[in-house]
Structure 1
Amino acid sequence: MRRPALVMVPWLLVRHELRLLASLWLWVTRRTHGTEGGGAAFGYVRGQGAMMFGFAFVCVVESVGMSVLLRDWPTAHHVVLVLDVYTVVFVIGLHAASVVRPHVLHAAGGTLRIRRAVHVDIRIPLDRIASVRRELRMTHEPADGELDLAVGAQTSVTVELAEPVTHVTFLGRRREVRVVRCHADDPGGLVRAVDQAREGYAVP
């Protein structure tokens, strides 16, 4: 039986926060998620770190400023301080999730796993891929059957499918997609690895 939306949303939010905390732990311990069993990882966060830590620094400065402004109102000060600390942890957690949850190609298992932090994790069977190519895009218009996972407003790899796969959104809505665009730090390497895996060769 499908759970009511009002019940599902809080659970999805809690699960999201738990995954962020787990990502922080994996990041600190220098481990990655989903690469067990010989999967080849392809990162997508190069250039994002400076922006994310810059945002976190702004949040810290804002926290200090609010602490000064609210020093005569202890209750408000404590509430705002908790929210500010949570915001900093949230921002760093998002970056950590992107680092420890890379795209993963399981050649032996015949699956390409495209991810974006803890928000997107879509598994694409290699036999459903019609073509994969390096394609830099800086603008993305929403379209039916297409999933754009931009990093820094850009995607660099386009995967076209012969058969659609199901993408489950953050709030649990299911979409059938035939085109997936994502970013990779080494788009050429990802494209070559997928092509080799589709042809039955081992991923270097």
Structure 2
Amino acid sequence: MGALRNLVRNESRTMAGLWLYVRGRKDGIDGDAVAVPYGSSGKAIFIVMAVVSAVEAGLFWLIDFGIVVDVALLVLGVYSVLLVFGIYAGTVVRPHVVSSREVRVRWSSFYDVRIPRENVAALRHLQESHDPLKAQKFRDETWLSHDNFYETNLIAELREPVTVTRPLGATETVRVVKFQADDPKAAVEAYERLGVS
């Protein structure tokens, strides 16, 4: 039951991200916080997925299953298009955040890990490509946020482990977080400018 509740929560957060995107707002950027965008390289994939979902919904509409089934399939098709756009919108409106208080690593509505600034031993820029056949999100106390074509370019090394909550509620304890940013050098500069604890 908990997994279902988490699934519903993720989908509602996805739709909320779509609403923030339409309004041109970002979540969690306040005070001295600096937004660290990510995922621009994945924009084309989301567009293709949305177009495929829309075409699929249209093709189902051409087949006569009866009015009730046709309407249900149309509603599901529209919802799937909104869901795909919502996931993309979440990558825009929920950027990573660097501030004097914390380093916040996110991915759309699925991950939101807040690391207190005093717990970050180092934030470094290091470009890495991970083999999709071997890469696991969690291995050897490392969280590999490889949602962008298995590429990472930032590493946060922690003094104490933090808990990462997976989208369906399971948790993992990690000491190293590897993630991706559109401009990793700017992220490291912001981290250093705001003062290393």
Structure 2 length-normalised TM? 0.90
CA RMSD of aligned residues (A): 1.6
Match of 1:153 among 140, 150, 153: 150
Aligned residues: 191
Match of 2:125 among 118, 131, 134: 134
The aligned residue for residue 3 of structure 1 is none
The aligned residue for residue 189 of structure 1 is 186
Residue type of the alignment partner of 2:126: E
The aligned residue for residue 40 of structure 2 is 46
Residue type of the alignment partner of 2:143: L
Rounded Cα–Cα distance in structure 2 between residues aligned with 1:28 and 1:38: 25
Question: What's the CA shift string for 1:105-161, capped at 9, x where partnerless?
Answer: 121xx2111101111111112222222211122215231311111213211111111
Gaps of 5+ in 2: none
The reply to whether residue 12 of structure 1 matches residue 12 of structure 2 is no
Rounded Cα–Cα distance in structure 2 between residues aligned with 1:16 and 1:183: 21
Question: What's the CA shift string for 1:143-202, capped at 9, x where partnerless?
Answer: 1311111213211111111211111222222221111011101011111222333437xx
Name the larger-Rg structure. Answer: 1
The aligned residue for residue 67 of structure 2 is 74
Q: Which moved more, 1:74-83 or 1:51-60?
A: 74-83
Question: What's the CA shift string for 1:3-55, capped at 9, x where partnerless?
Answer: xxx2x222212211211111111101100000022311010021222210111
Structure 1 length-normalised TM? 0.87
Q: Which structure would you say has the larger RCO, counting Cα contacts within 8 Å and 6 or more residues apart?
A: 2
Rounded Cα–Cα distance in structure 1 between residues aligned with 2:196 and 2:11: 39
Which 4+ residue blocks in structure 1 deviate beyond 6 angstroms? none
Q: Structure 1 vs Structure 2: percent identity of aligned residues? A: 33
Rounded Cα–Cα distance in structure 2 between residues aligned with 1:93 and 1:120: 15
**3-state SS of 2:87 partner:** helix
The answer as to whether partners of 1:113 and 1:121 remain within 8 angstroms in 2 is yes
Question: What's the CA shift string for 1:63-111, capped at 9, x where partnerless?
Answer: 1111112x3522221221111111101100000011000011121xx21
Residue type of the alignment partner of 1:132: L
The alpha carbon displacement at 1:60 in A equals 1.0
Rounded Cα–Cα distance in structure 2 between residues aligned with 1:134 and 1:181: 10
The aligned residue for residue 23 of structure 1 is 17
Rounded Cα–Cα distance in structure 2 between residues aligned with 1:35 and 1:162: 25
